[in-house]
Amino acid sequence: MPDSEAPGALLLCLDMQAPFIDAVVDGAKLTQRCALALQAARGLGIDVALTEQVPAKLGPTLPEIKAAAGDAPILGKTTFSALAEPAVAGLIAEREVAHLILCGLETPICVYQTALDALNQDLVVTVLSDAVGARRLDDATRVIEALSRHGAHVLPLESVFYALLHDASHPYFRTFTQLVKSHG
């Protein structure tokens, strides 16, 4: 990834489709946080990609997520782990991804299984804790704890992206702080 602040990184946004958003706790806030993560990653030169769970039945990615992702690939899947889907696995291999950053849903299912598969493939995994969602918060809490025990980094997105910026003199700093303010 030329000019990237995180060489070998990919932000993978999982299954941000209307039926899921309608079912999770605070879907509107989740949508805002995922849009912020996608815009921030793109601004820092980090590759992004989206998945859709059985899009023929469950519909496409939300328009605001597509807009935030720009021309990022959107990969359909039937598997719960995105890495078990050949198109996603191929993209990760092609782009030589070493660090997978995850947002989207659902935490106890697709986020969990994708993160575990990535860890089992010796990828560094970061789950953006405030940009993942679930129908039941207790389930999500247990999963996040388990992923931390397995070696995933579980951090709020601002912590991750400010760490990538390093300091206020970074050319993207001002734009990022404006994005943070505009996304609540």
Residues 58-95 have pLDDT tens digits of: 999 999 999 999 999 999 999 999 999 999 999 999 99
Structure tokens at 103: 């947002």
108 vs 123: CA distance, rounded Å: 20
pLDDT, position 6: 63
What residues of the chain score a pLDDT lower than 70? 1-7, 184
pLDDT, position 182: 87
Strands 99-105 and 153-155: unpaired
pLDDT, position 53: 97
pLDDT, position 111: 98
DSSP codes joined into one string, 18-70: HHHHHHSTTHHHHHHHHHHHHHHHHHTT-EEEEEEESHHHH-PBPHHHHHHHT
Overall pTM surpassing 0.85 (yes/no): yes
Whether the CB-CB separation of 8 and 94 falls below 8 Å is answered with no
What is the maximum alpha-carbon separation in the chain?
Answer: 47
pLDDT, position 45: 93
168 vs 150: CA distance, rounded Å: 33
pLDDT, position 3: 39
* Helix H or strand E segment including 93: helix 86-94
CA-to-CA separations, 75 to 16, 19, 43, 160, in angstroms, rounded: 12, 17, 22, 25
Q: Which structural domains are found in the chain, ordered by start?
A: 9-182 (3.40.50.850)
Task: Report residue 113 CA to chain centroid gap.
Answer: 13
pLDDT, position 183: 80
Structure tokens at 155: 């951090």
pLDDT, position 4: 44
